[in-house]
């Protein structure tokens, strides 16, 4: 058999096999996110614009004539390479400087795809806050939370948590809050995320801690090793060390801290301890909000008959569908002729008409803001700057005698941002697991029954939000793809050479 013929018999079957493998397996490797299907306008609305700021993310502007309403909807599909992140204003719960920050500013500094305003708060978030697994503020028992678990599930219930300090004598100290106002008789932990000082206004006991490892804010489900440095009795408003924290107690809480420090002084307990916060739902992002609007496809909230519920106002909403789509929605209001806003009943109906079966209300009114990439405000914010009595002031609306100047974005306590996902998701490793601290591993476990958990603080904090991870082509799959790609190129080149030889020979 001629040599040329033998080459053909090897190359062409190999090339055919390669093309078949790439055709069948290639899409599964890359796992492309499908283009957004397009938000269908609910009855009575028309779509005025639509864009896709990221793969699997769609932004739609809706308009209704009667009553006049303007609505912005972001739909995030399952598998989109983005994450929902709770952003704390100025990265600080409290402090002497500005406590609030504009949503557009928070969006720009985290390089967001888009963002909406988050939890209620006149200076500090009303609820709790978790961001990227870091607990920055414990929640309130009277405030709901919008949370995302490590498994990617969204929840709109109260955020359960427990916290304790475990000294070497195994006599645990229960914690009653993190970065919240200290309740009577309780112990609260203050970290640098709270601000420069504890802002406690009554005499108590404040125990200074130094964080040994890991550095940074405390993560849910991760054990930290700390050193007990010093105790100030009768102290208030103590400085929070940048590399540590403050345990502050009053009444019975102060007595518990005194006993702990006495045991350290006598040597019955060592100067080091373990500190751990736990959440049974493995929450990675959470932000406060209320009320829950819909559950299982039905209205869920009660009607107290107040203006907040029944009046038409700007609204900020989050919903999700049975198929896993997440909806971020803002409704403009307080602007007759442009957009009058919605009652909570109408807001619930809007989420249902968009396909959501679960949904919650975030802060609204003048706080309602929908921001696009780069910090561009896309909606019509309702707060106004006016001139009154020779001064420029910001109001919720123009009052008689005011001279209107312009609309202005209101600073808020937190934002919910959509950001590009990290290309590789690595589970956090507990640096103290199996360490030589000298404690049995079971001693680190937090109590199971709810009755044994520390009381939640009534004015607790703000949790964070959603975490999605996009797929990437890496590892052994990438190596196989590269080898097959090179083999394909070589096969094509040989095939072309054979074709030219055969053509010159007249086949």
Instruction: Read off the tokens for 462.
Output: 């703000």
- CA of 199: how far to CAs of 29, 42, 237, 246, 436, in Å? 54, 48, 4, 11, 36
Residue 122, judged by CB atoms within 10 A of its CB (0-12, 13-18, 19+), counts as: exposed
* Nearest by Cα to 433 from 141, 264, 213: 213
Alpha helix (H) residue ranges in 311-463 = 344-353
Q: Could you give the angle at which helices 3-30 and 475-504 cross, rounded to 10 degrees? A: 150
Residue 253, judged by CB atoms within 10 A of its CB (0-12, 13-18, 19+), counts as: buried
Residue 414, judged by CB atoms within 10 A of its CB (0-12, 13-18, 19+), counts as: buried
Q: Which helix (H) or strand (E) holds 257?
A: helix 252-266
Instruction: Read off the tokens for 350.
Output: 């809007």
Mean pLDDT by 10 residues, the chain (507 residues): 43 41 35 51 95 97 97 96 95 89 97 97 95 96 90 85 97 98 97 96 94 96 97 95 97 98 98 96 93 96 95 98 96 96 98 98 97 96 89 84 89 96 53 42 40 29 30 38 44 51 51
pLDDT of residue 337: 93
Phi, psi dihedrals of residue 252, rounded to the nearest 5°: -60, -35
Q: How many helices and strands, by DSSP H and E, does the chain display?
A: 6, 29
Q: CA neighbours within 13 Å on the CB side: how many for 146?
A: 35
**With b meaning 16 or more CB within 10 Å and e meaning fewer, what string describes 348-367?**
bbbbbebbbbbbbbbbbbbb
Q: How far apart are CA 195 and CA 231, in angstroms?
A: 20
Q: How far apart are CA 6 and CA 89, in angstroms?
A: 71
**Which strands, in side-by-side order, build the sheet including 154-155?**
134-137, 129-131, 283-289, 144-149, 154-155
Q: Are 362 and 116 in contact (CB under 8 A)?
A: yes
Strands 272-278 and 162-167 come out as antiparallel
pLDDT of residue 338: 96
Phi, psi dihedrals of residue 13, rounded to the nearest 5°: -60, -40
Q: Is 98 helix (H, G, I), strand (E, B) or coil?
A: coil
Instruction: Read off the tokens for 423.
Output: 């290309």
Instruction: Read off the tokens for 264.
Output: 């350290």
* Nearest by Cα to 179 from 251, 94, 238: 94
Q: How far apart are CA 290 and CA 336, in angstroms?
A: 26
Question: Which residue in this structure is represented by tokens 């909807």?
Answer: 73
Instruction: Read off the tokens for 257.
Output: 């801290």
Compute and round to an integer the Cα radius of gyration of the chain.
29
Instruction: Read off the tokens for 263.
Output: 């045991």
Provide the Cα torsion 116, 367, 108, 40; round to 10°.
30
Phi, psi dihedrals of residue 478, rounded to the nearest 5°: -65, -40
pLDDT of residue 305: 94
* Nearest by Cα to 492 from 24, 4, 16: 16
pLDDT of residue 202: 84
* Nearest by Cα to 116 from 253, 295, 314, 311: 314
Q: How far apart are CA 463 and CA 129, in angstroms?
A: 2
What secondary structure letter does DSSP report for 338?
T
């Amino acid at each position: 058999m001629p040599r040329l013929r033998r080459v053909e018999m090897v190359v062409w079957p190999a090339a055919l096999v390669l093309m078949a493998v790439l055709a069948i397996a290639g899409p599964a490797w890359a796992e492309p996110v499908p283009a957004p299907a397009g938000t269908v306008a609910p009855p009575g609305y028309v779509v005025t614009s639509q864009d896709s700021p990221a793969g699997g993310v769609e932004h739609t502007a809706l308009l209704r004539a009667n009553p006049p309403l303007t609505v912005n909807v972001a739909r995030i599909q399952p598998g989109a390479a983005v994450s929902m992140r709770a952003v704390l204003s100025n990265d600080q719960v409290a402090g002497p400087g500005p406590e609030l920050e504009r949503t557009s500013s928070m969006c720009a500094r985290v390089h967001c795809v888009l963002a909406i305003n988050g939890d209620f708060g006149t200076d500090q978030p009303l609820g709790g806050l978790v961001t990227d697994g870091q607990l920055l503020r414990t929640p309130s028992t009277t405030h709901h939370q919008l949370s995302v678990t490590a498994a990617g599930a969204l929840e709109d219930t109260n955020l359960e948590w427990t916290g304790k300090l475990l000294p070497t004598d195994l006599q645990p100290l229960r914690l009653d809050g993190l970065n919240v106002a200290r309740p009577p008789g309780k112990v609260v932990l203050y970290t640098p995320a709270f601000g420069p000082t504890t802002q406690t206004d009554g005499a108590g006991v404040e125990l200074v801690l130094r964080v040994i490892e890991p550095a940074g804010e405390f993560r849910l489900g991760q054990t930290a090793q700390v050193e007990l440095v010093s105790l100030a009795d009768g102290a208030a408003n103590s400085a929070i060390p940048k590399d540590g924290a403050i345990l502050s107690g009053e009444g019975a809480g102060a007595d518990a801290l005194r006993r702990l420090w006495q045991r350290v002084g006598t040597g019955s307990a060592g100067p080091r301890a373990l500190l751990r916060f736990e959440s049974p739902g493995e929450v990675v992002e959470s932000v406060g909000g209320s009320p829950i609007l819909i559950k299982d496809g039905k209205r869920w909230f009660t009607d107290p008959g107040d203006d907040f519920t029944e009046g038409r106002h700007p609204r900020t909403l989050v919903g999700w569908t049975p198929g896993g789509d997440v909806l971020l929605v803002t409704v403009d209001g307080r602007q007759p002729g442009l957009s009058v806003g919605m009652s909570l009943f109408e807001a619930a109906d809007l989420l249902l008409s968009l396909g959501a079966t679960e949904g919650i209300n975030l802060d609204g009114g003048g706080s309602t803001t929908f921001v696009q990439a780069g910090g561009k405000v896309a909606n019509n914010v309702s707060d106004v700057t006016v001139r009154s009595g020779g001064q420029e002031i910001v109001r919720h609306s123009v009052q008689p005698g005011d001279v209107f100047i312009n609309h202005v974005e209101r600073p808020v306590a937190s934002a919910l941002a959509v950001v590009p996902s990290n290309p590789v998701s690595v589970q956090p490793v507990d640096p103290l697991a199996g360490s030589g601290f000298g404690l049995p591993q079971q001693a680190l476990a937090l109590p199971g029954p709810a009755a044994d958990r520390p009381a939640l603080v009534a004015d607790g904090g703000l949790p964070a939000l959603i975490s999605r991870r996009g797929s990437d082509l890496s590892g052994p799959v990438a190596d196989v793809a590269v080898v097959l790609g090179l083999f394909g190129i070589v096969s094509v080149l040989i095939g072309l050479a054979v074709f030219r030889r055969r053509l010159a020979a007249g086949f």
